[in-house]
């Protein structure tokens, strides 16, 4: 029996490692992968020694068939999306459709290797079995073998997982790079972790929401429209123009207009702000989905989820996104980002959000690598070259990469920013990184201007999320000369800039209305002259709304006058920081909770299409 078990483990291991190779992993790169894969196989077959002899072979063949089926399905999916499957994707089966329609193109003749073992292994195992008929191991031996398999299996799998978590903290909680997880803990453990998360986090396709609750949500959207004035400022100011939206990695507001050691940190953005509409009280509203949450907020005007990332958990929902709205106006839509396409599930989510094309790492020449990948400057150069070849008008959504945490590639930037004493410190490194991002943006804007594209294009720039984590709050306090970085001060500084440049510098000036990522889409749609009244957006058009409010996923919020740390029972006047009785904000707190709840229900129950139909019929 030990021989049968060993042969099975070795054969399956070869199969799993071959799969790993095909999805871009390397065996040598990960000692965790080997341990984890062997461990998973041991767990899988731990019952073999104790089941009745006549079932053993059948069980092994069954396991082999399952592993083969999953490996081939994942492989085809990988070839289509550059990523591996998750259960939320299976539950929202729509995506499988796109893969199955091109299944013949995705299948390579060499994939038949996956079934080779059925031809070789089965006769071999049968032979060994018949030879073993004579010896009948007793139940103590069988139970011990079973236990050894189970316990060593758990130990090895766990070791592999621990190695991965050490190497990439949080990767298993957010699942931001699924292919990387599979490459490092093996296919079986990857699906095991995915299944565990799926059931634990309760993503089980559509939930049933009562008609009453649905009606409440519909009414909320209908009433929201009533707040908007009849005559909309800037409506259609850039109708028919191209739109380039640039989401800048870790660009926080406190660097704007600031000098360090006498040098401007963001000279190019400062110059752009002087001729643009600038929202100076625009807050970061992202949650566990990081960059992907910022992309989701801006392009869908819905809140991020309470737990996990929408991009990972609900990639198959129907979304009436910004690219979809513009596509209906005849726009070409392209999302551009220089990292691996499968990261944050973008290769699945972007097409579902109506981006015609995802211009990614595989389309770009890696001629200058800084940190995580292609430098922003090269990314902008190649992206712009590409944009000049596509049909106008277009919506290009660009997501930058170079200024990503931990900001320590200071040797690679072109023109170093002299940060004085901060050289080498976390904050100094961040300022250098953001100065580089600014320089790259300067290059893009110069080219747009020189090549006459600025008159025909709306350029919107915003930061994706915070750059400084709370454990570094003292470094931020020092930079900003804040004596006491208390919670009010901390939250007040969680701003990202939003700059919208219109052709002819129309509307240039600062706007102080409070807002956040959620407000991007309605504000832009108004400028592009798209009637958004029947689009289920939760944000506000910041150029027309009488008041603003930014809500963080934990329930903290900032409106035009107050900052409320809801869960801590504290509120402050926004300008002075003077404490303010939280009871006076009862209505705002209720509204805020309701908004978060509505957004969560919409996403969990895939309600956008239904609400849209309701709004269209009003």
In the bound state with Mn ion, the residue whose beta carbon lies nearer, of 294 and 448, is: 294
Residue choice 291, 402, 457, 523 for contact with Mn ion (CB under 5 A): 291
Match 């170093």 to its residue by tokens. Answer: 416
CA atoms of 104 and 95, how far apart (whole Å): 16
From the list 317, 294, 313, 309, the residue with the least C-alpha distance to 611 is: 317
The minimum distance between CB 471 and Mn ion, in angstroms, equals 18
What is the nearest approach in angstroms of ligand GP9 to the Cβ of residue 344?
Answer: 6
Q: Where are the alpha helices (DSSP H) in 50-115?
A: 53-81, 87-91, 94-101, 103-106
Helix (H, G, I), strand (E, B) or coil at 249: coil
Is there binding between residue 279 and ligand GP9 (CB under 6 A)? no
C-alpha 260/C-alpha 421 separation (Å) is 10
Q: Which does 339 bind (CB under 5 to 8 A by kind): Mn ion, ligand GP9, none?
A: ligand GP9
Residues 6 or more apart whose CB falls under 8 angstroms from that of 248 comprise 400, 403, 437, 441, 461, 462, 463, 464
Kindly state the smallest distance separating residue 169's Cβ from ligand GP9, in Å. Answer: 11
- If binding is defined by CB under 5 A, does position 247 make contact with Mn ion? no
C-alpha distances (whole Å) from 235 to each of 92, 292, 387, 507, 581 are 37, 29, 26, 12, 38
Q: Which of 448, 474, 478 has its CA nearest to residue 460?
A: 448
* Smallest distance from ligand GP9 to CB 221, Å: 29
Task: Give me 72's structure tokens.
Answer: 């081939």
Is 290 one of the binding residues for ligand GP9 (CB under 6 A)?
yes
174 binds Mn ion (CB under 5 A): no
Q: What part of residues 343-362 is at the interface with ligand GP9 (CB under 6 A)?
A: 343
H-type alpha helices, 412-531: 426-450, 473-480, 487-492, 520-527
Q: Which does 343 bind (CB under 5 to 8 A by kind): ligand GP9, Mn ion, none?
A: ligand GP9
User: What is the total residue count of the chain?
Assistant: 618
Residues 325-344 that bind ligand GP9 (CB under 6 A): 337, 339, 343
> At residue 66, what are phi and psi to the nearest 5 degrees?
-65, -50
Under a CB-based contact definition with an 8 Å cutoff, are residues 501 and 244 in contact?
A: no
Shortest Å, Cβ 419 to ligand GP9 = 22
Given ligand GP9, Mn ion, none, residue 501, with its beta carbon under 5 to 8 Å by kind, binds none
**Would you call 247 helix, strand, or coil by DSSP?**
strand
**Cβ-based nearer residue to ligand GP9, 399 or 489:** 399
Q: What residues numbered 13-42 form the site for ligand GP9, per CB under 6 A?
A: none
State which of positions 363-422 bind ligand GP9 (CB under 6 A): 399, 401, 404
CB of 505 to Mn ion, least distance (A): 29
CB closest to Mn ion, residue no: 291
Q: How many chain residues are in contact with Mn ion, going by CB under 5 A?
A: 3
Of 313 and 404, which CB lies nearer to ligand GP9 in the complex structure? 404
CB 252, min distance to Mn ion, A:
11
Counting contacts by CB under 6 A, is residue 296 touching ligand GP9?
no
The answer to whether 464 contacts Mn ion (rule: CB under 5 A) is yes
The nearest distance, CB 231 to ligand GP9, in angstroms, is 39
Site string for ligand GP9, 557-596 (x = CB under 6 A): ----------------------------------------
Structure tokens at 419: 């940060």
DSSP state of 392: S
Rounded CA gap, 402 and 437, in Å? 7
What is the rounded distance in angstroms from the CA atom of residue 334 to the CA atom of residue 340? 16
Query: Which of 291, 299, 378, 566 touches ligand GP9 by CB under 6 A?
Result: 291
Q: How far apart are CA 169 and CA 172, in angstroms?
A: 8
Residues that bind Mn ion (CB under 5 A): 249, 291, 464
Residues that bind ligand GP9 (CB under 6 A): 290-291, 337, 339, 343, 399, 401, 404
């Amino acid at each position: 029996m030990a021989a049968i078990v060993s042969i099975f483990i070795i054969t399956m291991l070869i199969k799993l490692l071959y799969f790993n190779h095909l999805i871009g992993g390397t065996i040598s790169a990960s000692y965790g992968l080997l341990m984890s894969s062997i461990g998973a196989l041991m767990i899988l077959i731990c019952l073999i020694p104790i089941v009745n002899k006549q079932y053993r072979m059948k069980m092994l063949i069954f396991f082999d068939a399952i592993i083969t089926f999953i490996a081939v399905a994942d492989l085809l999916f990988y070839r289509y999306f550059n990523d591996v499957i998750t259960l939320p994707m299976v539950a929202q089966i729509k995506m499988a459709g796109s893969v199955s329609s091109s299944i013949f193109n995705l299948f390579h003749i060499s994939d038949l290797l996956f079934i080779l073992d059925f031809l070789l292994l089965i006769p071999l195992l049968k032979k060994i079995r018949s030879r073993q008929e004579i010896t009948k191991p007793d139940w103590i031996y069988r139970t011990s073998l079973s236990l050894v398999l189970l316990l060593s299996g758990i130990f090895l799998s766990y070791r592999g997982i621990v190695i991965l978590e050490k190497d990439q903290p949080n990767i298993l909680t957010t699942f931001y790079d699924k292919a990387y997880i599979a490459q490092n803990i093996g296919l079986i453990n990857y699906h095991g972790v995915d299944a565990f998360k799926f059931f634990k986090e309760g993503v089980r396709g559509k939930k049933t929401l009562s008609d009453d609750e649905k009606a409440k949500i519909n009414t909320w959207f209908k009433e929201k429209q009533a707040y908007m004035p009849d005559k909309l400022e800037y409506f259609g100011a850039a109708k028919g123009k191209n739109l380039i939206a640039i989401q800048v990695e870790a660009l926080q507001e406190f660097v704007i207009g600031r000098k360090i050691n006498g040098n401007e940190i963001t000279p190019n953005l400062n110059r752009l702000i002087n001729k643009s509409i600038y929202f100076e009280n625009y807050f970061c509203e992202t949650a566990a989905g990081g960059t992907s949450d910022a992309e989701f907020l801006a392009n869908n005007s819905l809140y991020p989820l309470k737990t996990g990332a929408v991009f990972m958990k609900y990639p198959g929902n129907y979304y009436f996104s910004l690219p979809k709205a513009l596509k209906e106006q005849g726009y070409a839509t392209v999302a551009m980002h220089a990292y691996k396409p499968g990261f944050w599930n973008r290769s699945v989510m972007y097409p579902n959000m109506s981006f015609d094309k995802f211009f990614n790492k595989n389309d770009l020449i890696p001629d200058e690598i800084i940190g995580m990948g292609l430098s922003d400057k090269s990314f902008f150069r190649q992206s712009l070259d590409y944009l000049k070849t596509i049909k106008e008008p277009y919506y290009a959504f660009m997501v930058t990469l170079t200024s990503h945490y931990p900001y320590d590639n200071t040797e690679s930037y072109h023109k170093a920013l002299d940060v004085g004493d901060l050289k080498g410190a976390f904050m100094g490194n961040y300022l250098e990184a953001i100065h580089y991002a600014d320089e790259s943006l300067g290059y893009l804007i110069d080219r747009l201007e020189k090549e006459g594209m600025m008159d025909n294009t709306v350029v919107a720039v915003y930061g994706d999320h915070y750059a400084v984590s709370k454990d570094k709050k003292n470094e931020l306090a020092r930079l900003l000369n804040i004596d006491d970085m208390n919670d009010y001060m901390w939250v007040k500084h969680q701003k990202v800039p939003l700059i919208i440049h219109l052709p002819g510098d129309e509307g240039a000036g600062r706007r102080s209305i409070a807002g956040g990522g959620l407000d991007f889409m309605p504000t832009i749609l108004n400028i592009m002259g798209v009637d958004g009244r029947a689009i289920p957006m939760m944000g506000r058009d910041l150029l027309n709304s009488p008041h603003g409010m930014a809500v963080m996923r934990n329930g903290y919020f900032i409106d035009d006058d107050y900052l409320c740390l809801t869960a801590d029972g504290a509120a402050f006047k926004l300008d002075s920081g003077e404490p303010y009785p939280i009871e006076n904000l009862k209505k705002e707190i209720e509204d805020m909770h309701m908004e978060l709840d509505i957004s969560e229900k919409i996403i969990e129950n895939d309600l956008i299409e239904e609400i849209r139909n309701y709004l269209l019929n009003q």
